[in-house]
Amino acid sequence: MSHKVRDQEESNRQTIYLNDRTQNQFIHKKFYNHIKTSKYTWWNFVPKALILQFMRAANFYFLISTVVQCIDIISPLAPFSAVGPLILVLAVSLSREAIEDYKRHRNDDLVNEQKSFIFNNKNFTSIMWKDIQLGDIIKVNQEQILPADIMVIATNEENGTGFVETANLDGERNLKSKISHEIVNKYGREHSLIKFKGKIVCDKPNNRIHSFKGLLYLDDESKPIVLNNNNVMLRGTTLKNTEWVIGVVIYSGQDTKIMRNQGQVKHKSTHIEKKVNPIIFITLLVQLGLCLIMAILLSIFQKNTNPLENSKWNYAYLYGNSSDGLYSYEVQGTINFFTYFLLLNSLIPISLIISMEVVKLFQSSFMEYDAEMHYLEDGQVQKMKVLNTMIHEELGKIDYVFTDKVTSLQLLENLFD
C-alpha cells in the first residue's frame, strides 16, 4: 500500500478513547452531545433574517422602490409612503421568523436536557444528554430513545443481543437486532466496566446510517476487534424488547448519523410562493415596459414644447432644473422613467405580501389550538407544534404514490366501485 493511500485512509478515521474524557477533549473539537436545529442566534438574527427576506422577489422589489422614492429629483411622492409599508412587511416577517426560531430553541433545550445514565468508574449516575461526551459509557433502558450513536458493550441478554426501532431514521417500524461482539460482551457487568479500557479507531462522522467500520483496541486484548454496523445503535432509535443496553459513545451531538442526515435548516418555498414569484416578475416586466414607453413619449413632448426654443409653449413644471438651467433630454428621460416607475408601483401591491404573512400566522395559531390536532404522550395531552409557518399549507398534499401491482388494483377497484 502506498504512503498516499495510507495517509488518505488515516485522514478518514478518528480515534476515541474509552471512558477517558481528558484524552478525547484534547483530540476532538466537537465532543459534547449538544444539538442545534435553530437557524439563528441572538447576534446574527437581524442580518441573516433580512438577507433571507430580500431573497424573496416581492421584498426585493419593494426595497428598490423605497430607495428610488427617497431620491428627491425622481420621486413625486413622500418617502414615508414607501418606507412605512416596507417596514411593516419586514416587521411581520421578522416577528414570524423570531417566533419560529424561538420554538426551535425551546425544542432543542427539551431534547438536550433529557436524562440518561453514565458510568463514573463506580456506578451509573444520571446526566443530561447535552453533557454526554465521546468515549463515555452510557446505559439506556427499554422504551427509551438513544441519546447518541453507541457501540454496544452488553445488553440484558447473555449473548449481547438487543433490538431497536428505527422509525425516526428510515421510517421502518420493524425491529432491527444489534449485537455486542462476543469478546466485548464479557465486560457487560457493571463491576467489569472499570477494566474496559482502550480505544476505538473508526470512520469519521458521516451520514451513512447503514455503514460503520471500526477497530476496537482493548488494553487486555492482544488483537484488535473488528466492528461493523451490527455492533452499533444510533441516536434517535428506540430500545425495544430489551431491558437495557450498555454502550460507549462513538458519535455525539451534531456528528451523529441522524443529525448528519438532517443537515442545515434551509429556507423552503411553497407552491403558492413559487406561483407568486413568476407573476411578480411578469408584472415587473409590464411595468418597466410602460415606464419606458411613457418616458419616451414625455421626452418627445418636452422636446417639442421647450420654452427656450418656443415661447408659445411654457410647461416649465414638466422639466427638471439643474444649477445650469434645464437638464439634457437624456437625463430628463431617465428621471421620467424612474418617476413613472414609482407612480406605477401599485401594480405589485405591498398589501399582498402583508396579507400572506398575516394569514400564515393566524393559520398556524389555529392549527396549534385545534383540539383535533392534539395527541396523547405519556398520558398527557400535547398540542401540535408548528415549527415552520412557511410550508404549513403544503400539509396533506400528495405528489407521488409508490405501490405494488396488487395494491394498485385494489385502489382502482375501490375507485370504480
d(CA 61, CA 292): 18
Please check whether residue 117 is in contact with residue 138, taking contact to mean a CB–CB distance below 8 angstroms: yes
Give every CB contact of residue 61 below 8 A, 6+ residues apart in sequence.
280, 284, 348
Helix (H, G, I), strand (E, B) or coil at 384: coil
d(CA 276, CA 319): 38
Helix (H, G, I), strand (E, B) or coil at 210: coil
| DSSP codes of every residue in 107-171 | HHHHHHT-EEEEE-SSSEEEEEGGG-BTT-EEEEETTPBPSSEEEEEEESSTT-EEEEE-HHHHS
Please check whether residue 186 is in contact with residue 265, taking contact to mean a CB–CB distance below 8 angstroms: no
Please check whether residue 269 is in contact with residue 276, taking contact to mean a CB–CB distance below 8 angstroms: no
| DSSP codes of every residue in 270-339 | -HHHHHHHHHHHHHHHHHHHHHHHHHHHHHHHHHHT-TTT-TT---GGGS-EETTEEPPHHHHHHHHHHH
Encode burial over 244-255: b for 16+ CB neighbours within 10 A, e otherwise: bbbbbbbbbbbb
Pick from 274, 332, 273, 264: which is nearest to 301 by CA?
332
- In angstroms, the first-to-last Cα distance of the chain is 67
CA atoms within 13 A on the CB side of 320: 20
Pick from 250, 219, 217: which is nearest to 151 by CA?
250
d(CA 191, CA 188): 9
Residue of 378, 399, 404, 417 with catalytic role: 404
404 catalytic, yes or no? yes
What cell numbers appear for 322 in the block?
Answer: 439643474
What cell numbers appear for 219 in the block?
Answer: 488494553
What are the beta bridge partners of residue 299?
none
Please check whether residue 133 is in contact with residue 25, taking contact to mean a CB–CB distance below 8 angstroms: yes
Active-site positions? 404
